[in-house]
């Protein structure tokens, strides 16, 4: 997660659209930070897609409240939970239902392909054996939760 945030903060292309440095990032990494096996590049791609979406969404509400991510990483006996919450505009039920569809985007022009979340969904569920879900309170923000089972030998 930290590497992905560094990447997003320093990425020139991203900086043209939104400045990650202006976002308050609250890291709630519960100790001990759980360890599990996965392909680092794949999970970073998932985190980056979700962080980019959040940063983009929070631009809409930046004049109302300071953009903030709340990141939780925790685990119990069976699973690792990664939560990425933004305080942007949130999503109504119609939008929430469609966000994981390939090519679904609400971004105008060539700002979005609509593939970020569908690819993330595929990576999490098919490649890494996990689950991804979204919660939102319209007007308050959105929260993505990724869960991976911990395989015990
Ligand atoms: N955090 C969020 N807050 C509000 N809306 C969101 C959020 N994340 C995603 N969305 C909505 O879900 C849609 C689909 O997201 P997805 O990442 O798949 O595509 P995209 O961001 O539009 O394009 P791309 O990821 O290819 O640049 C977005 O266009 C946006 O409407
Ligand atoms: Mg996206």
Per the prediction, the chain carries an average pLDDT of 93
CB contact burial 96-121 (16+ within 10 A = b; e otherwise):
beebbeeebeeeeeeebeeebbbbbb
Residue nearest to atom 8 of ligand 1 (CA): 53
Q: Which protein residues touch ligand 1 with a CB less than 6 Å away?
A: 49, 53-54, 57, 86, 88-89, 91, 95, 99, 104-107, 112-118, 142
Q: How far is the CA of 108 from the centre of ligand 1 (A)?
A: 11
Q: What is the model's pTM?
A: 0.96
Residue 109 has pLDDT above 90, yes or no: no
Q: What is the mean pLDDT of residues 60-70?
A: 96
pLDDT class for 33, splitting at 50, 70, 90? confident
Q: How far is Cα 146 from Cα 49, in angstroms, rounded to an integer? A: 13
CATH 3.30.565.10 correct for 2-149:
yes
Domain chopping of the chain, boundaries: 2-149
Report percent pLDDT > 70 for the chain: 99
């Amino acid at each position: 997660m930290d590497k992905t945030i560094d990447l997003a903060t320093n990425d020139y292309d991203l900086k043209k659209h939104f400045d990650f440095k202006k976002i308050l990032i609250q890291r709630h990494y519960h100790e001990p930070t759980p360890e599990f096996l996965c392909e680092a590049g794949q999970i970073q791609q998932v985190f980056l897609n979700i962080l980019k979406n959040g940063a983009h969404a929070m631009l809409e509400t930046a004049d109302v409240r300071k953009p903030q991510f709340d990141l939780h990483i925790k685990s119990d006996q069976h699973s690792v939970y990664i939560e990425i919450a933004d305080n942007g505009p949130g999503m109504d039920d119609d939008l929430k239902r469609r966000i994981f569809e390939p090519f679904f985007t609400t971004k105008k022009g060539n700002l979005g392909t609509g593939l970020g979340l569908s690819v993330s969904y595929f990576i999490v569920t098919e490649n890494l054996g996990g689950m991804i879900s979204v919660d939102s309170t319209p007007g308050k923000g959105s929260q993505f939760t990724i869960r991976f089972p911990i395989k015990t030998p």
